[in-house]
Structure 1
Amino acid sequence: MGKTLSTPYKKDTSLITDGTELTIWGTLHKNCDSFSVSLCSGPLIETDDIAFHFNPRFIEFCVQRNHKEASKWGAEENAGGFPFQRGQDFRMNLLVNQRGYKVVVNDKHFCEFTHRLQKTEVRCLHIRGDLFIRSIEDNSCAQQSLRDVGYSSVIEGGISSGMKIVILGQVKENCDSFAISLCVTPTTSQGDIAFTFAPSFIQKCVARNSRKSSKLGTEMREGILPFVRGKDFSIDLQVTDSCYTVFVDDKYFCDFPHRLSKDRMQYLVITGDVLISSVHFDRQNIIKQIEASKSVRATIYRTTDSLLDVPVYPLPNHPAIEVSEPVRKDITRISDGTELVIYGTPYRASDSFSVSLCFGPLIETDDIAFHFNPRFLENCVMRNHKEASKWGAEEKTGGFPFQRGTEFSMSLLVNQRNYKIVVNDKHFCEFTHRLEKTGVRYLHIRGDLFIRSIEQNSCPQQSLRDATYSSLIEGGISSGMKIVILGQVKENCDSFAVSLCVTPTTSQGDIAFTFAPSFTQKCVVRNSWKSSKLDTEMREGILPFERGKDFSIDLQVTDYCYTVYVNDKYFCDFPHRLSKDRVQYLIITGDVIISSVQFDGQNIIKQDPDPPAFSEVLSESEVSKGASGPIYNPNPDPPAYSDVLCEMEASKGASGPTYNPPTPVTVKIPGGFHLEKIVCVRGVVKAGCIRFYVDLVCGLSSDIALRFDVRVNYGTDHNIIGCSHKENAIFGIEEIYERSSFPFMPGSKFEIKLLCKPECIKVSVNREHFCDFNHRIDPIKEVDHIHVAGDVTLSEISWN
């Protein structure tokens, strides 16, 4: 791993078949113009046929795909954005299936290329251009003789959010165990596995796990064993953006967070002591499927009065939490476009809470148009209505997005057909109107939670002359910011546009980015406007909107482009053509109804005041003594490794800690990271955090002895911590840690301590031992800097 392969690079490949996966790890040159990956019929790329040519071009900011036959190139394809950055590492998976080649870049699906030449003719892999190649893996899996497979099926088109897999079968009388797996290859004996669901009658549990690079992840086995030997069963496996949700015999069983990119999965494999009678792959909207089949398959539960007899807020047992609202909140008349936003935190021992829209002030007797009731004991969210003191049929599909002791935001959006619920900026469910929404007069919130704030935002539906929606973006836009727009396309819509502007109107002034769906042209036009001139137009891709349908648009700002997701699916990138610092207004025009706009670039959770500046911490006597060691805040928390903390001697001349530094920040460690040295990082995780990391750096070589990488919501990784090292510009194998109680939730304080031991680096988080990371850099004493970057607000970096 310490060396790179030179380019141009040529590798003879074994016969590629359905199930073959080629994985390329590389690093692009800082001044890279282009590179290419080609599957060729022979060793001479200039003259031999090319089955698939993949060519990222930085100058044109696109990735061209093509084939070549008899020295003639075919029709180019270049839709899909641009997932590469100069000077950055990347991983590219090239997956072969029956219909074509699938390309996954950095664990995100990028494109597919339909076979134009016979894949069996491919004999050589060629890589050329401005890049370093770290390694290449060829994982070929023959499809015959699957001795360990009871059932194996290619998943046509792969898996995607919204998909459901329904498995019907019978457990054998002598069953010890069986397993259902989503795999990259058609056998479980080799290749990565995104999710294995493995009931065991010996251990009396259902083990859930994943396998990556031949290593198993952390096993999960909470819950009962819902299967019986000799009995029929049904398993519904639903794919969401964040996890796999499993229902057994029409009852919710568990969620399993994505650990590997779901875009890489191509096969469903079932092994063990089980008889399979039916496997059905359904790609329609999950919510619509469940609603349509409710009368046939869904188990109906009744709301019980006991769940309503919970405390109301304000909460007398928690006087420190200030809630300005009364026990119930009078709300103005709700209509299409009304949004209620609730910020709160469930108790650490919370059993349940409820949010209800009521016709009157007495929740016990008045009608309830919508009752939303998360129940931690049952691990589900019940939704219902009540009319004339009688409850209706409950709905409970959709997983469980709440965690005890963890802050949440909940948006309740009212539209013509239903109530739409968004939890932590992700669509959760819809509830069709059963009672007239115009009768709602009160919002009731009850149960085991703290309420931070409640907002009511009403959005008028009438069109403005040149803007359906126009808003000043407080503080402008910056990298890491996200704008989430929820709305509905009008039935007679011809077009609409979302624009980031310098001025509060689109009729004058520069426009950094216009995103304009057009039903007339059946595409989405992207462009910019500078000095009264339109720039080059981009319109690749399908039209992902439908007349009369709801939609969500997530617009994410990065250093080099705007990235757009539509209905939680990646749609496009648009490179910056004007400085994003000039943008001050968001304007939405055209035939569209806007129900909610959220700017996720600011911290909506009030944090504690910043720690005092360094000079304020020092007492007068300490100043006069000229103290130079680390000065901790008054009444510090007990150290995680108190037995090895020692006093700092002024004679060593070490500099003091750094308080309130901006990120990213690099700080020199006085004396280096020698044995028994402790480095401490304290701060607050930003609201909307995507990722942050802490590096122990060797100053001369820039090697990294430890990268402690906290990924809150980074790509397909959610609440995961990775530990790795980097040597000679190449990262090593990553150790993945998942905890049932994630210590770095957005808005929370944290403390990380790194202790140097002879054999490893000991890591503690919030005064509890977290992990040991064995030394990979030798000698460790070369470490002399600490670097922190990402979505955190730091209060202190110090050492013993």
Structure 2
Amino acid sequence: MTFVSPPGYQPVYNPRIPYLGPVYGGLRDGVSIYIQGSASKDITRFLINLLCGESESSDIALHLNPRFDGCDKVVLNTRQGGSWGSEEKIHSMPFSKGKAFELVIMITSKGFQIKVNGKEYLMFPHRIPVEQIRAIQVAGDVSIQTINIIGDAGGGMYPGGMGGGYPGGSMGGGFPDGMGGGMGQGGYPGCNIGGAYPGGPGGSMGGGHPGSQLPGMGGQPVYNPPVPYSSMIPGGMYPKRTIIIRGMIPHGANRMGFNLVVSRSRDIAFHMNPRVKEGAVVRNTRTDGKWGKEDRELSMNPFMEGQYFDMSIRCGNQRFKVFVNGQHLFDFSHRMSFSEIDKLEIEGDVQISYIHF
């Protein structure tokens, strides 16, 4: 049996749309599907399907279909044996044309608890057992930054996670007949899915991506904490320990700080300070109230107004490795013992949606 890394470590980044990719290990209570994306400026509709098989004609345990058609609504449904169930239509639209969004679909014993941009949206009761879900499909007028499966499904080790996209196969079957707007059955003529994620898990992201060989994450994630945020780090920092932080830079943001702190002395062992207006990400330490020498060099700067980010800070024996949106951003060599770090602090112009130690 091949072990697939626990969720939180095999995100799919920037898949080609339409996308259809497997969910290894299935889903169960306590797991969440986390999707960052943005709706096109001229959007008419898009869909997210949780499929019970690895083809677009499989049964659909959850069909989530925002429609911008003058009478904006979100349609929810299921499909079994080729037949659609009874539609639920919600006339409050949480998505906006041309705007980024963050969608969390949380699996509970009662149903799918859906949150958009940090706000509770609705609960859709299960009609098909979630254990049957095998794939995720995304199509329509939308671009996706990341699809991620997160959360602990009992006992830490959870052999689930995202796979790559399926080669071949045209889209269209994912929409009910009544889609309209040229997007009914077969509404994507000649549009192949292709390798939405080159090489599948560990293909393009093997080796360097944090978590390629990591143990399961402990503890529960923190959703939507207020900023400034301060929390003790359960168990402190040690080699291979990874902190995942996801959030958004609001418009008008100037700067923010992410600090790994030794609470006993108030020293900051690692200070990361994205300065949005300046286009810099400054790194430093502070001991006995005095700042050290700044590190500034960067290959790219992902921290821009209106952008979501997905960051992991991984502790090594010699240095911290920081990845943002699946790409290595920088290393920061330890200047004091990482074993004394016991606190995470976040401050400044940033909205945080998710923290997991």
Structure 1 length as normaliser, TM-score? 0.24
Instruction: Give the greater-gyration-radius structure (CA).
Output: 1
Structure 2 length as normaliser, TM-score? 0.48
